[in-house]
Amino acid sequence: MDVGVIGLGVMGENLILNIEEKGFNVSIYNRTTTKTDNLIEKHKNLNLLGCKDLKSFVDSLSSPRKIILLIKSGNPVDAMIDKLVPYVNKEDVIIDAGNSFYEDTERRSLKYENIFSFLGVGISGGELGARHGPSIMVGGCKKGWEIIKPIFEKIAAKADDISCCAYFGNTSSGHFVKMVHNGIEYCEMQLLCEVYFLFKKSKLNTQKITKILKKWLKTEELESYLLEITTKILDRDDELINKVLDAASQKGTGMQCVSTALNFGSINTMMSDSVFARIISSKKTLRTVLFEKYGNKIDENIVIEENCVKNAFTLAKAVAYVQGYVFMLEVSKIKNWNINIKEVSQIWKNGCILRGGFLQTMIKMETDGILLKNDTFKQIYENGFEDLKYVLKCAIDKNLPMPCFSSALNYLNGMIIKDGSGNLIQALRDCFGSHTVQLEGSDEFVHIDWLNW
């Protein structure tokens, strides 16, 4: 058999069918054997082989053996790999294609580097992507990548006749790129929620909001999968969205992205505010109690220009992407990976949750890491900055929370100002903790006795 897949969850089953459809024979192993039997029975005409134990599973594969894991991240991945070790050798490739945290992937890469080729692979697109063509982000052993590359390039989505699959460097680069993808996804979803809420509190009904967003969807820059499914959710005749509880949840990839950015000293304010917006949302019971206590009613007599919201949304979205991309470039430089803006944007253009026209805008931007200097970004800034301020003024005046839009504005104001307030931070730290200060025009750090002069 050409390739083996372990794990028959939604992603595993759909990826198996995708691989087989592209002309490859697939061996299957699942801890619950009845799921394997059911899949084989359901698809008798396909080139699939169900295996009852790991040894027969590995033995069924042609050399070099290619094994894809699509199982729950964390300890289950370690346990499964350890069970496979007795049956594989240096020529074989084991691929963790689940949602593993990049630090776990880095640890595994080092642990198994002399036993087999290990790859950490991010797959985006959900079950439909897995079935019909996902975006695939690969990191790990270069030798292993060359072995699995022909299969991955065939099963991945295509954009401009280019496979949405790329190798970003050793160890955990693939899972890192996928993590940042998810972080940007958090931002874009939150921005869409804030747009929806703003329009809703402007006394627009769901039909009118949908009509506006459908117009946005027809523009080259704002066309996207997330905007498309937003319009479809809102466009239901039964307006089911109004019956859904206002309490969002999360699986943790956004929090991982934010904590990682903090560890590397990378600016990731919009992802952070998107994560906290979900946490605040989840406190529905507490929010209800506090509403009764404070009576913080939103003034719904908001009159706001649709085009202003569109321009503000475009700029805020651009900031989210810039922060995410700069984060990737900074870490790539530290880790000696091969992450670049053009390649990331190209493989995200189809198959993944972030697919949309804005990725073409990102391709136009420079790859030196200073994206705010780019003329493409400056044009978006000049077109949307005043509108972003106007939208937030309206929101503040009407007690309307827009944390992600606010985060975009604060980031821009903070980055574009020449002289800020960091001098006082230096002085305060030096005053109470003798942490020293750097004076203008000097490379040296000195301690000053601030309280006795």
Q: Taking 90 as the threshold, does the pLDDT of residue 238 lie above it?
A: no
Biggest alpha carbon–alpha carbon distance for the chain: 88
Which tokens go with 383?
A: 């077109």
Separation CA 183–CA 255 (nearest Å): 8
With respect to residue 172, please indicate whether it lies within any of the assigned structural domains: no
Residue 372 has pLDDT above 90, yes or no: no
Query: Residue 367 — very low, low, confident or very high, per pLDDT cuts 50/70/90?
Result: low
Task: Say if residue 362 is in the same domain as residue 448.
Answer: no
Which residue among 66, 106, 178, 200 is the active-site one? 178
Residue 299 is assigned to a structural domain of this protein: yes
> 1: pLDDT confidence band, cut at 50, 70 and 90?
confident
Is residue 311 a known part of a binding site?
A: no
pLDDT (tens digit per residue) in 99-146: 999 999 999 999 999 999 999 999 999 999 999 999 999 999 999 999
268 part of a folded domain: yes
Q: Which long-range contacts (C-beta less than 8 Å, at least 24 apart) are formed by 11-14?
A: 11/70, 11/97, 11/98, 11/123, 11/126, 11/127, 11/130, 12/70, 12/71, 13/39, 14/127, 14/128, 14/130, 14/131
Structure confidence at residue 368 (pLDDT): 53
Q: Is the per-residue pLDDT at 96 higher than 90? A: yes
The residue from 185, 188, 194, 343 that is catalytic is 185
Task: Report the pLDDT value the prediction gives residue 398, as an integer from 0 to 100.
Answer: 86
Does one domain contain both 399 and 428? no
208 marked among binding-site residues: no
Half-sphere exposure (CA, 13 Å, Cβ side) for 154? Answer: 14
Q: Annotation-wise, does 124 bind a ligand? A: yes
Read off the pLDDT of residues 255-284 as tens digits, 9 standing for 90 and up.
Answer: 999 999 999 999 999 999 999 999 999 999
Is the domain of 118 the same as that of 104?
yes
If asked whether residues 444 and 318 sit together in one domain, one would say no
Q: Is 232 a catalytic residue?
A: no
If asked whether residues 36 and 150 sit together in one domain, one would say yes
| 102 and 204 housed in the same domain | no
pLDDT of 369 reads: 54
Write down the pLDDT at residue 296.
Answer: 73
CATH number, position 237: 1.10.1040.10
- Are 439 and 395 in the same domain? no
* CATH number of 90's domain: 3.40.50.720
> Residue 436 is part of which domain span?
421-452
Q: Are residues 157 and 298 in the same domain?
A: no
To the question of whether residue 447 is assigned a binding role by annotation, the answer is: no
Residue 186 annotated as lining a ligand binding site: yes
Give pLDDT tens digits for 172-222: 999 999 999 999 999 999 999 999 999 998 889 999 999 999 999 999 999
Within this chain, do residues 105 and 183 fall inside the same structural domain, yes or no? no
Overall domain count for the chain: 3
Query: In the prediction, which pLDDT does 272 show?
Result: 97
In a domain, 173, yes or no: no
Does residue 425 share a domain with residue 404? Answer: no
Do 79 and 224 fall within a single domain? no
Q: Strand, helix or coil at 18?
A: helix
Of residues 361 and 203, the one with the higher pLDDT is 361
In the residue annotation, 178 being an active-site residue is answered as yes
Cα–Cα distance measured from residue 83 to residue 38, given in angstroms and rounded to the nearest whole number: 24
CATH of the domain at 426: 1.20.5.320
Q: Is 278 annotated as a binding residue?
A: yes
Distance between CA 247 and CA 320 in Å, rounded?
A: 23
102 and 223: one domain? no
Angle at the Cα of 159 from the Cα atoms of 48 and 66, rounded to 5 degrees: 30
